[in-house]
């Protein structure tokens, strides 16, 4: 619910909020199951049981405003590219005004896989009723955002690689690296001529492993992060199995790869598994934000943050997102991290 009383702050963006223009629904598509349209796309509809906000639900999948795998268009559509087990795919999804029915089209070898996973992508496996607010701030934030659902992509590597790029750097640096590498080594997205310009599908695991060291450097990615990605893609099949595991087992599977710790595994599983309790620890800013919002303590550490979130066990990730979306953050001081670009060295 964007507007004058809900400004789009940095914290709200961190909380996964993306502005999707209010527009008309897309072209009519098949009411049951995937079906081929005249334009050559596979299409289907799905009606959620409750309200779904596309911007809040799919927002965590966007890596910066220039993400080449994610676009929104004035007609109210979200375009998302994905590398599925069957190959590249482009998805367009919009909500029908009035009914809230999701109307989706997909192109590419992975189109059918993409449409089969549409309900999970839009939060069908999520249970918002399991969340019980115990703080006034969380009660207000939860009430104002009835359309928040936790997405589940079912794809670990797609969520893991950009998360590794975000390790110990500013968001701007990570987003720049993601854009450059996807556009340079990915492939143009399949789809119709009217698709948004600049859409790309991320590279496959083998291509990630073959990126030379100098291109990682030009993209601003240091040797530690690039080595972590290379180690991960070499065991991509084993990591993808984590999408079907419970949170503890999935985190153990990811953290078995050197360079992947609790912060990276939590940020990944929040998206790939739709894990409502995957709370992010080891973050530079999150403990202070949650500590300030719930207890007025801007200097809270991970231990204090986990203690404050203890009443939300099972739903701690949702609680953290609602706090971020509320935008109740401590007054800003001098920057704790500075932007760098090692690619210029």
Nearest by Cα to 260 from 271, 270, 252? 252
Bridge partner residues of 90 (DSSP): 81, 107
Q: What is the mean pLDDT of residues 149-167?
A: 98
Q: What is the mean pLDDT of the chain?
A: 92
Q: What is the mean pLDDT of residues 288-304?
A: 97
How many Cβ atoms sit within 10 Å of the Cβ of residue 95? 25
Residue 336: predicted pLDDT: 62
How far is residue 33's CA from residue 46's CA, in Å, rounded to a whole number?
A: 9
Q: What pLDDT digit, counting tens, does each position of 114-152 carry?
A: 999 999 999 999 999 999 999 999 999 999 999 999 999
Cβ atoms of 157 and 230 closer than 8 Å: no
How far is residue 120's CA from residue 149's CA, in Å, rounded to a whole number?
A: 10
How far is residue 230's CA from residue 311's CA, in Å, rounded to a whole number?
A: 38
How many Cβ atoms sit within 10 Å of the Cβ of residue 223? 11
Where is average pLDDT lowest: 31-35, 97-101, 256-260, 267-271? 31-35
Confidence tier at 77 by pLDDT (50, 70, 90) = very high
Residue 37: predicted pLDDT: 63
Nearest by Cα to 115 from 85, 96, 89? 89
pTM for the structure as a whole: 0.91
Q: Answer left, alpha or beta for residue 149, where phi above 0 means left and psi between -120 and 50 means alpha.
A: beta
Q: What is the mean pLDDT of residues 240-266?
A: 98
Residue 129: predicted pLDDT: 93
220-to-2, 193, 305 alpha-carbon distances in Å = 34, 32, 32
Residue 40: predicted pLDDT: 74
Bridge partner residues of 44 (DSSP): 104
How far is residue 302's CA from residue 103's CA, in Å, rounded to a whole number?
A: 41
How far is residue 102's CA from residue 25's CA, in Å, rounded to a whole number?
A: 9
Strands 42-46 and 70-72: unpaired
Interior angle at CA 342, CA 340 and CA 345, nearest 5: 120
229, burial (CB in 10 Å: exposed 0-12, middle 13-18, buried 19+) = buried
Q: What pLDDT digit, counting tens, does each position of 12-51 carry?
A: 878 888 889 876 544 444 444 555 664 579 999 999 999 9
Residues 6+ apart with CB under 8 A from 143: none
Q: Answer left, alpha or beta for residue 223, where phi above 0 means left and psi between -120 and 50 means alpha.
A: alpha
Cβ atoms of 218 and 343 closer than 8 Å: yes
Residue 337: predicted pLDDT: 63
Cβ atoms of 52 and 102 closer than 8 Å: yes
Nearest by Cα to 133 from 14, 311, 275, 329? 311
Tokens of 42: 């596979």
Q: What pLDDT digit, counting tens, does each position of 306-315 carry?
A: 999 999 999 9
Residue 4: predicted pLDDT: 40
Sign of the four-CA dihedral 55, 58, 13, 286: positive
Residue 31: predicted pLDDT: 43
Q: What pLDDT digit, counting tens, does each position of 166-220 carry?
A: 999 999 999 999 999 999 999 999 999 999 999 999 999 999 999 999 999 999 9
Sheet holding 35-36: strands in order across? 35-36, 42-46, 102-107, 87-95, 78-84, 70-72
């Amino acid at each position: 619910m964007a507007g004058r009383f809900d400004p789009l702050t940095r914290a709200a963006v961190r909380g996964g909020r993306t502005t999707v223009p209010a527009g008309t629904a897309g072209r009519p598509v098949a009411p049951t199951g995937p079906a081929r349209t005249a334009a050559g796309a596979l299409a289907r509809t799905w009606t959620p049981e409750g309200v779904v906000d596309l911007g809040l639900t799919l927002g965590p999948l966007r890596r910066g405003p220039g993400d080449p795998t994610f676009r929104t268009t004035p007609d109210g559509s979200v375009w998302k590219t994905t590398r599925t087990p069957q190959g590249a795919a482009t998805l367009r999804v919009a909500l029908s005004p009035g009914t809230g029915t999701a109307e989706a089209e997909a192109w590419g070898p992975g189109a059918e896989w993409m449409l089969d996973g549409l309900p999970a992508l839009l939060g069908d496996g999520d249970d918002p009723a399991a969340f019980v607010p115990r703080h006034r701030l969380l009660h207000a934030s939860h009430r104002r955002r009835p359309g928040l659902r936790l997405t589940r992509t079912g794809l670990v590597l797609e969520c893991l690689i950009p998360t590794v790029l975000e390790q110990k750097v500013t968001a701007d640096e990570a987003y720049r690296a993601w854009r450059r590498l996807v556009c340079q080594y990915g492939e143009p997205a399949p789809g119709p001529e009217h698709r948004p310009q600049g859409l790309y599908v991320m590279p496959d695991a083998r291509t990630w492993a073959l990126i030379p060291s100098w291109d990682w450097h030009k993209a601003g990615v240091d040797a530690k992060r690039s080595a972590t990605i290379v180690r991960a893609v070499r065991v991509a099949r084993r990591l993808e199995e984590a999408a079907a595991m419970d949170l503890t087992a999935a985190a153990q599977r990811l953290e078995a790869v050197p360079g992947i710790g609790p912060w990276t595994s939590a940020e990944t599983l929040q998206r790939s598994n739709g894990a409502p309790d995957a709370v992010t620890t080891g973050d530079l800013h999150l403990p202070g934000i949650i500590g300030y919002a719930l207890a007025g303590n801007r200097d809270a550490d991970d231990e204090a943050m986990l203690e404050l979130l203890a009443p939300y066990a099972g739903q701690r990730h949702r609680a953290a997102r609602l706090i971020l979306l509320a935008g109740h953050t401590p007054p800003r001081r001098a920057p704790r991290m500075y932007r760098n670009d090692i690619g210029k060295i």
